[in-house]
Amino acid sequence: MSERRSSESGFPIKGVYTATDLPGDLDSRLGVPGEFPYTRGVYPTMYTSRPWTMRQYAGFGTATESNARYHQLLRAGTMGLSVAFDLPTQMGYDSDDPIAHGEVGKVGVAIDSIEDMRLLFDGIPLDKVSTSMTINAPGSVLLLLYQLVAEENGVPGAALNGTIQNDILKEYIARGTYIFPPKPSLRLVADTFGYCRTEVPKWNTISISGYHMAEAGASPVQEIAFTLANGVEYVRAAIAAGLAVDDFAPRLSFFFVARTTLLEEVAKFRAARRIWARLMRDEFGAKNPKSMMLRFHTQTAGVQLTAQQPEVNLVRVAVQGLGAVLGGTQSLHTNSFDEAIALPTEKAARLALRTQQVLAYETDLTGTVDPFAGSYVVEAMTAEIEAAADALMTRVFEHGSAVDAIEAGFQKREIEQSAYRIAQEIDSGERVVVGLNRFAIDAEEPYEPLRVDPSIEAAQAERLAKLRAERDGAAVERALAELRTAASGTGNVLYPMKEALRERATVGEVCGALREVWGLYRPTDRF
């Protein structure tokens, strides 16, 4: 018998739920699929007409190596690519920058210039795949490189589908890959909204992320409350920049985690949709139904994977993926079982994709929309999570805004307290982790992880030296000067940024030009 008596968010879980646990206004809270408040899903047919987009997060070493993995995943049946970038790229530094030493190609692919982006997507039909890029502070830079490569292959911006994460606020809360102070960072986000509306209209301009906060220890309530509060901040920034809500809000998307606590996760996703629909309609006056839809990508919980008995992670990932599907996700990445040890092997990545394919094609999950609607326990949990998230968002906005709360350290403190509680529960054995604090084995079976070649850094430096020797240096300098001028003014910086990248300016040079104008953010700085 399970020993769990409370939810991840701290609600007591009853042994039996009955009709008396349902909210009295259940019909209005539910609606129908594809209609306000979207509790039952953002589309009328959901998976009955086609399944969710199956993504696999991949990227390591060189662009050539990552390109080979993408082709393997596409052949295996994945429907969308999800790109992981290395730490120097995420921070806006070139591979030959001294600060990048030892990190090149380690946690993702190294992208220094348009030449690397060409290699990364060589032979991949960019008008037929959907590409998600997990990149934040320099998100606009990588999007423009992607667009330039597509144009070189005859694919116009209007034909591109995908997402850039571009969520800088959660970096200040939980992850730390920020570059600029918040005010210019928010301007860059708004400029990206405006640019994509005209130039890449089907692109999802931001993936407002609760995933990384959850990985840092946030509870389900904290995850959606802080994520949606950040979403409100981005909407306000875009409106302040002169954009109409219904011109950009339909391209907003979100990114959540799926934990092993399946029932609470399903309730979390349903509550999040309901809260966002109400916010967009009532606070921002959105009229377009697509502006009120909370469309989201889900990734299974990397933080819940164990290096001990890693094969058990296959079970965890299957349960987590099931929760995401029952919760109505639009796309899903299932983690590989060996990710707690190293970068996934090809076999492990294929097994992770096969997990999704079993859910989609061997179960009856795609036969009906929102199968948990009306469930005593799920509806009760959905109402509890909604009320608690609303209350926590109110506490955020009591600081003035999500940014003001970040400055006060509110979200970070709340998440740290939750993470500490989880760690204590694991250490005491109150929270069971199979293979770690219970059902352990004396000796682990040997496992050979995928390793990144340390020579990649030198090879990238050689490529950069060759690039700088061959390109038109004067043209690059002129383009970077125009970018600095735009950054100093009020115009959209993505247009001069694109021209600089076209002239083969590097990611580090473009971000460096913006650093000169906007400065760097340090945690001790005031916003």
pLDDT category at 446 given cuts 50, 70, 90 is confident
Mean pLDDT of 279-288: 98
pLDDT category at 135 given cuts 50, 70, 90 is very high
**Cβ distance 325 to 365 under 8 Å?**
yes
| Cα–Cα distance for residue pair 308/305, rounded to 1 Å | 9
| Structure confidence by residue, pLDDT tens digits, 259-275 | 999 999 999 999 999 99
Q: In the prediction, which pLDDT does 69 show?
A: 87
pTM for this structure?
Answer: 0.91
Find out whether the peptide bond into 37 is cis, omega within 30 degrees of 0: yes
Rounded to 5 degrees, what are φ and ψ at 49? -100, -35
| Cα–Cα distance for residue pair 69/410, rounded to 1 Å | 40
Domain residue spans of the chain: 49-362+372-428
Task: Determine how many CB atoms are found less than 10 A away from the CB of residue 398.
Answer: 10
Q: In the prediction, which pLDDT does 522 show?
A: 79
Q: Which of 4-13, 96-105, 460-469 shows the lowest mean pLDDT across its residues? A: 4-13
Give me the sign of the Cα torsion angle 229, 174, 165, 330: negative
| Cα–Cα distance for residue pair 294/58, rounded to 1 Å | 25
Residues 136, 140, 146, 147, Cα dihedral to 10°: 150
**Cβ distance 97 to 142 under 8 Å?**
no
Task: Determine how many CB atoms are found less than 10 A away from the CB of residue 440.
Answer: 12
> Reading across the β-sheet that carries 203-204, which strands appear in turn?
203-204, 161-164, 130-134, 80-84, 53-58, 331-333, 296-300, 252-258, 206-209
| Cα–Cα distance for residue pair 436/441, rounded to 1 Å | 9
Helix (H, G, I), strand (E, B) or coil at 224: helix
Helix, strand, coil share (%) of the chain residues, nearest 5: 50, 10, 40
| C-alpha separations of 292 from 18, 207, 221, 225, 273 in Å | 31, 15, 20, 17, 9
Q: In the prediction, which pLDDT does 301 show?
A: 96
| Cα–Cα distance for residue pair 485/514, rounded to 1 Å | 10
Q: In the prediction, which pLDDT does 343 show?
A: 75
H runs (alpha helix) in 293-446: 312-326, 346-361, 376-397, 402-407, 410-428
**Cβ distance 300 to 344 under 8 Å?**
no
For residue 254, give the DSSP letter.
E
Q: Using the predicted structure, report yes or no on whether residue 2 has a pLDDT greater than 50.
A: no
HSE, CB side, 13 Å, CA atoms: give it for residue 442.
Answer: 0
**Cβ distance 177 to 90 under 8 Å?**
yes
Q: Using the predicted structure, report yes or no on whether residue 500 has a pLDDT greater than 50.
A: yes
Beta bridge partners of 163: 132, 204
Helix (H, G, I), strand (E, B) or coil at 12: strand
Q: In the prediction, which pLDDT does 526 show?
A: 45
Q: In the prediction, which pLDDT does 447 show?
A: 66
The residue written with tokens 């609600």 in the block is 11
Give me the sign of the Cα torsion angle 269, 270, 273, 276: negative
Q: In the prediction, which pLDDT does 256 show?
A: 98
Cβ burial of 80 (10 Å; 0-12, 13-18, 19+) is buried
Q: Using the predicted structure, report yes or no on whether residue 167 has a pLDDT greater than 80.
A: yes
CATH topology of domain 49-362+372-428: TIM Barrel (3.20.20)
Residues 25, 29, 35, 39, Cα dihedral to 10°: -150
| Cα–Cα distance for residue pair 522/527, rounded to 1 Å | 10
Q: Using the predicted structure, report yes or no on whether residue 176 has a pLDDT greater than 70.
A: yes
Mean pLDDT of 518-527: 72
487: its two tokens: 């950054």
Find out whether the peptide bond into 250 is cis, omega within 30 degrees of 0: no
Q: What is the mean pLDDT of the chain?
A: 94
| C-alpha separations of 287 from 58, 232, 249, 317 in Å | 37, 16, 10, 38
**Cβ distance 496 to 482 under 8 Å?**
yes
Q: Using the predicted structure, report yes or no on whether residue 138 has a pLDDT greater than 60.
A: yes
| Cα–Cα distance for residue pair 321/30, rounded to 1 Å | 23
pLDDT category at 1 given cuts 50, 70, 90 is very low
Q: Using the predicted structure, report yes or no on whether residue 52 has a pLDDT greater than 70.
A: yes
Please report the DSSP string for 281-326 in residue order. IIIT---SHHHH---EEEEE-GGG--SSSTTHHHHHHHHHHHHHHH
459: its two tokens: 């090879």
